[in-house]
Structure 1
Amino acid sequence: MTRAGLAAARSSTADLAEIVLRTDDGQWELPSACAGWRVIDVMAHLAALASEAVHPPPPDPALPRNRERYHDLRVDERRDQSHAEVLDEWRHSTPLQLDLLEAAQEPPGADEPVEVAGLGTYPRHLLANTMAFNVFCHLRNDLLAPDGPLPFTLPEPTDELVAPAVDFMLAGLPQMQGPELTATVGDPLVLDLTGPGPTTVTVLPATGPDGRLTVAPGTVADATTRVHSTALDFIAWATTRKPWRDHCRITGDAATATPFLDRLNIV
C-alpha cells in the first residue's frame, strides 16, 4: 500500500496550514505562480478537490473533459466567496479527505481501481499520492517564494515528501495525455531523478492493445538515452511550470528524448 503517500499528504497539509496562518488578506489576493490564479484561488482549488473527495458529485457530461479546464471551472465557482469562506471549506473538508485516504489503505478496497476523470485509473490506495502531489506542488511551486509570492520558508523537502509525489506523476504519465504523448516515444527513454525523492525509471514505447506507454523501474538493457534531473525539478518541469531545457541534461540521442520532453504535461 502507499502509506508513504498518506504520510506525505498529511505532512504537506500541515505545512500548508502553517502558511495559511501567516498569510494576510492582501497576500491572498496576490497572483500565484499558477497562471490565472490568485493565492486564494489555489486554496479554492485544494478545497474543491477535498470536498469532491468527501462528497463525489454525480457525473455531468456537460463538464469540461480537459482536467485543467475542469479545475478552472471549480475555482471560478468560488471566486465570489470571501477568503474566510474558501479557507473554511478547505479546513472542513481536508481532514475528512485524509481520513478517507487512510481508510483506502486497507483491504479489500485498497486495490480497487478508481477512475479519476481526465487523469486515468489508479488503485484506490494510490489516491493518497495524488493528494501528496497536489498539496506539495501547489505549496512549493505556486505559493511560496521564489516562484510564488509568499515570502515564507519551510524546511527543505525530504525524500518522504518528494518520492510519493513523483510516484503519482509516474503512475499518471502513461495515462494523462494518451496518444499524443505515446507517439513521442519510439525507443526506451530513461528518467534518472536525483536529490530528495530519487528514482530511476524507463519509459517504454507502447506495445500492448491499450496503446499506452509503460513506466518500468530501473534501466532496461537496451536503453541508451537518459534524461538527468533532480526529482524536485521534475515536479516543476514535468507539469510545465518551468522549461525542461533549464533543468534537464540529456545523455545519448537527444532526438530520442526531445519530442517526449516537449510534449509531457502532467496535471
Structure 2
Amino acid sequence: MTRAGLAAARSSTAQLAEIVPRVADEQWDLPSACAGWRVIDVMAHLAALATEAVDPPPPDPSSPSNRERYHDLRVDERRSWSHAEVLDEWRRSTPRQLDLLEAAQEPPGGTEPVDVPGLGTYPRHLLANTMAFNVFCHLRNDMLAPDGPLPFTLPEPTDSLVAPAVEFMLAGLPQMQGPELTSTVGRPLVLDLTGPGATTVTVLPAAGPDARLTVAPGADGSTRITSTALDFIAWATTREPWRDYCRITGDTSAATPFLDRLNII
C-alpha cells in the first residue's frame, strides 16, 4: 500500500494550510502560474477535487471527457463564489478526503481498481499519491514564487514529499494520453530522475498494435533522459519546457518525440 503517499498528502496539505491565512484578500485574485486560473481558482480546484472525493456527483454524460477541460468546468462553477466560500469548501472537504484515503490503504479494498475519468485506472490505495501530487504541484509550482505570485517560502522539498508525487505521475504516464503518447516511443527510453524523489525507470514501447507503452523499474536501454525528480514534476506537466531541464544521452531523435508530447495532468 502507499502509506507514503498518504503521509505526503497530509504534509503538503498542512503546508498549504499554513500559507492560506497569510494570503491577503487581493492576492487571491492574482494570476497563478496555471494558465487561466487565479490563485483562488487553484484553491477552488483543490476544493472541488476534495468535495467530489467525499461526495461523488452522479455521472453526467455532458461533462467534458478531457480531464483538463473538466477541471476548468468545476473551477468555472465556483468563479462567482467569494474567497471565503471557496476556502470554506476546501477546509470542510479536505480532512474528509484525507480520512477516506487513509481508509483506502487497508486490504482488501486498497487493491481494487478505480477508474478516474480521463486519467486512467489505479489501485484505490494509489489515490493518496494523486492528492500528494496535486497539492504539492499546485502549491509549489502555481501559487508560490518564483513561478507563482505569492511571496512565501516553504522548506526545501524532501524525498518523502517528492517520491509519492512522482510515483503517481509514472503510474499515469502510460494511461493519460493513450495512443497519442504511445506512438512516440519506438525503443526503450530510460528516465533517470535524481535528487529528492530519485528513481530510474524505463519507458518501453507497446508490445503490439493495440497495446500501450509501459513503465518498468530500472534501466533497460541505451537512450537516457536525466533530470531531477523535482524538475520532472514541472516539465512533465508542461509547466516548464523540458529542454531547459533534461539531458539526453544516446539517440536524441528517439527521445525527443516522447518529450515533446508528454503532458501529465
TM-score, normalized by length of structure 2?
0.99
Residue 15 of structure 2 is matched in structure 1 by: 15
Residue 125 of structure 1 is matched in structure 2 by: 125
- Kindly report which structure 2 residues correspond to 1:113-262, keeping only aligned pairs within 5 A, or say none: 113-207=113-207, 211-220=211-220, 223-262=221-260
- Cα drift, residue 209 of structure 1: 7.1
- Kindly report which structure 2 residues correspond to 1:48-67, keeping only aligned pairs within 5 A, or say none: 48-67=48-67
> Compared with structure 1, are the counterparts of its residues 112 and 255 closer, same or farther at alpha carbon in structure 2 (3 Å cutoff)?
same
Residue 76 of structure 2 is matched in structure 1 by: 76
> Compared with structure 1, are the counterparts of its residues 168 and 63 closer, same or farther at alpha carbon in structure 2 (3 Å cutoff)?
same
Unaligned runs of 5+ in 1: none
Count of matched residue positions in the alignment of Structure 1 and Structure 2 = 265
> Compared with structure 1, are the counterparts of its residues 7 and 209 closer, same or farther at alpha carbon in structure 2 (3 Å cutoff)?
farther
AA aligned opposite 1:146: P
AA aligned opposite 1:241: R
Secondary structure in structure 1 of the residue aligned to 2:139: helix
Unaligned runs of 5+ in 2: none
Q: How far apart, in 1, do the equivalents of 2:35 and 2:194 lie?
A: 28
Q: How far apart, in 2, do the equivalents of 1:190 and 1:29 lie?
A: 41
AA aligned opposite 2:245: H
Q: How far apart, in 2, do the equivalents of 1:68 and 1:215 lie?
A: 23
Q: How far apart, in 2, do the equivalents of 1:123 and 1:258 lie?
A: 31
Residue 89 of structure 2 is matched in structure 1 by: 89
- Cα drift, residue 212 of structure 1: 1.1
TM-score, normalized by length of structure 1?
0.98
Q: How far apart, in 1, do the equivalents of 2:69 and 2:237 lie?
A: 15
Cα deviation code 1:184-218 (max 9, x no counterpart): 00000000000110000000001157511110000
Q: How far apart, in 2, do the equivalents of 1:109 and 1:177 lie?
A: 27
Identity rate, percent = 85
Secondary structure in structure 2 of the residue aligned to 1:150: coil
| Dislocated runs of 4+, deviation >6 Å | none
Residue 263 of structure 1 is matched in structure 2 by: 261
Two-structure CA RMSD over aligned residues (Å)? 0.7
For structure 1, which segment, 209-218 or 41-50, has the greater mean C-alpha deviation from structure 2 after superposition? Answer: 209-218
Q: How far apart, in 1, do the equivalents of 2:115 and 2:73 lie?
A: 20
Secondary structure in structure 2 of the residue aligned to 1:118: coil
Matched, 1:112 2:112: yes
Secondary structure in structure 2 of the residue aligned to 1:164: helix
Cα deviation code 1:29-81 (max 9, x no counterpart): 10000000000000000000000000111111100000000000000000000
